[in-house]
Amino acid sequence: MQVQPDNPIIVQGDGKVILETKHRRYAGARDFLARFAELEASPAHLHTYRISPLSLWNAASAGMGTAEILDGLRSFSKFDIPGDVVQTIEETIERFGLVKLLPHPTAPRRYIVVHCETAYVAKLISHEPSAQELMKSEGRKGPWVIEAGHRGIFKQRLLQAGWPVEDLAGFLPGAALEVKLRNETRTTEDPFKVRHYQWLSVHRWYQGGQAAGGHGVVVLPCGAGKTIVAMAAMSVINTHTLILATNQAAVNQWERELLERTWLTKDQVGTYTGERKEIKPVTIATYQILTWRRSKDVDFEHLHIFRDHDWGLLIYDEVHLLPAPVFGATAELQGRRRLGLTATLVREDGREGDVFSLVGPKRFDMPWQDLEREGFIAEARCWEVRVPFRNGEELRYERASENEKFRMAALNPAKLRVVRDLIKRHADDNVLVIGTYLEQLHIIARELRAPLITGQTPQGRREELFGKFRTGEIKLLVVSKVANFSIDLPDANVAIQVSGSFGSRQEEAQRLGRILRPKEAGADWYTVITGDTKEQDFAHKRQLFLTEQGYRYSIDDRMA
């Protein structure tokens, strides 16, 4: 056995990887592991990663091979890699691409060829019950084919059976539309530059070109310009585009950015929401409108916009929030190019595999700390402020049911004094107080005499308050979950989280993203929790994703 005690990781026989956080090579090992493994636990000194089939297949789709993974593990590991782990990595990586979808030579719009690398793989696939009913044989020596409309469900079923399909069947071009970025000409008064990593992400997404390129997910932190990535992709594809966003505010932001950053006109950009229902060459819709129906007994009334127009590109903003009914519509539209955008591929419903098979694999991911070092996102300091119960609340907590305990801890009235102290500390900063429970936020807003934005706040009022915050007229806002996504507040540099959605890692990442726009002074992120409670346990889970990105939480209990 080769022993290298100065290395930072240990690879266990069950496929888990232990990483020393205090090691001098920690950052390099962390960035390497993040490419093909998932962070599972992050106590102070040792982090645990898990190598999963999906994480390996995402790595394979991005061009990472078995040799690169094993050579890297050996260079960081204290001991030899267990033989079972080596075999698992080899067999899992090798499965990607053993089954391919290719264009049909004579009827590409009706059929797609299922190409298997070997006769043995073809035999296994043809006997897979979930895929068998979709496959047809074109004569004794002809290839296996599926109907073009079954493209998405076939990939979905095979992935669930352990066969990741490489989709090379190509895409319909869609109706032509010239999309030019304003930085492509010198006549504009407001030029901007697409950053190097943004063009690189588009290049990775479009690998394969007109033949097969153009499906998959780009992962970048909030504030790193995912909207610019989308517009750069549109300028490469030049086709009618449907953009799906999380809420009305996000739709308005997309519309504003498209008109400011491209040469598209108001006649070419429309919105399909509860307020307006326009179908234009570039249409921005909300997930909510697409999944709305009068009752559970009727069909979704607006999903037809997927089928009723000659789209060449579908863009899914915050793809980790893609609702299940839209997955179904995506399965029907596998002939269109698809771009998913997100800060984290973590889905709380465990449907990361559906994103992989129906939108596409992860094509690009850049460590947050790399972007921070280059000055593209703000340097963030993260604090966990632990507050005790007061006035006998601890005894009431101990007597409460398990279902009540988290809510009691989240709504701890003692948090208010901590929030006041933090706001005094940051009197000259632009501060967001973010929470989940509306009764708590109403109390905080009233006590601080600060404006409050919730889901019940009219859209016009929201835009007014956000506008005043951007200009500096307002320096403190209290916001609910409506501010989790797609809110452009570039000057916000302090966020105080007073309650969250249980152990949601995606929410932690999105909320931190509200303050990551580049700024010289950096940013401060506080999450205020009740110590020694279920809330502290869930806070640890919420922090997993950010810990993987290199952030460290300092524990602050001095104000308790």
Whether 76 and 215 share a structural domain: no
Residue 514 near residue 222 (C-beta atoms within 8 A) = yes
Residue 61 near residue 96 (C-beta atoms within 8 A) = yes
Let me know if residue 173 belongs to a domain: no
Residue 92 near residue 162 (C-beta atoms within 8 A) = no
Q: List pLDDT tens digits, range 178-196.
A: 999 987 544 445 557 899 9
Let me know if residue 152 belongs to a domain: yes
* Residue 40, beta-bridge partner list: none
CA distances from 240 to 21, 174, 336 (A): 47, 6, 11
Q: What is the pTM of this model?
A: 0.85
Task: Provide the token pair at 466.
Answer: 């956000």
Let me know if residue 372 belongs to a domain: no
Determine the pLDDT at residue 184.
Answer: 53
Q: List pLDDT tens digits, range 216-258.
A: 999 998 889 999 999 999 999 999 999 999 888 889 989 999 9
1 band by pLDDT with thresholds 50, 70 and 90: low
The mean per-residue pLDDT over the stretch 30-48 comes to: 84
Determine the pLDDT at residue 494.
Answer: 96
DSSP conformation letters of 261-312? HBS--TTTEEEESSS-B---SEEEEEHHHHT--SSTTS--TTTHHHHSS--S
CATH code of residue 458:
3.40.50.300
Whether 276 and 322 share a structural domain: yes
The more confident residue out of 363 and 39 is 363
Whether 233 and 362 share a structural domain: yes
- From 139, 167, 195, give the residue that closes a domain: 167
Q: List pLDDT tens digits, range 304-334.
A: 888 889 999 999 998 988 888 887 777 778 8
Let me know if residue 371 belongs to a domain: no
Name 6's Cβ contacts closer than 8 Å, sequence gap at least 6. Answer: none
Query: How far apart (Å, rounded) are the C-alpha atoms in residues 33 and 40?
Result: 12
Closest CA to 256 of 226, 218, 227: 227
Determine the pLDDT at residue 71.
Answer: 97
pLDDT value at 559 more than 50: no
Mean residue pLDDT across the chain:
89
Whether 210 and 323 share a structural domain: yes
Task: Provide the token pair at 250.
Answer: 């996000």
Whether 109 and 232 share a structural domain: no
Determine the pLDDT at residue 186.
Answer: 46
Let me know if residue 2 belongs to a domain: no
Residue 163 near residue 117 (C-beta atoms within 8 A) = no
Q: List pLDDT tens digits, range 51-73.
A: 999 999 999 988 899 999 999 99
Whether 126 and 150 share a structural domain: yes
Whether 338 and 383 share a structural domain: no
Whether 312 and 194 share a structural domain: yes
- From 107, 137, 167, give the residue that closes a domain: 167
Q: List pLDDT tens digits, range 74-90.
A: 999 999 999 999 999 99
Please state the three-class secondary structure of 429-494 as a single string.
Answer: CCEEEECCCHHHHHHHHHHHCCCEECCCCCHHHHHHHHHHHHHCCCCEEEECHHHCCCCCCCCCCE
**Number of domains forming the structure of the chain:** 4
Whether 545 and 460 share a structural domain: yes
Whether 217 and 323 share a structural domain: yes
Let me know if residue 1 belongs to a domain: no
Whether 270 and 196 share a structural domain: yes
Determine the pLDDT at residue 266.
Answer: 97
Whether 242 and 333 share a structural domain: yes
* Residue 185: how many other CB atoms lie within 10 Å: 10
Name the residue range of residue 120's domain.
99-167
Let me know if residue 3 belongs to a domain: no
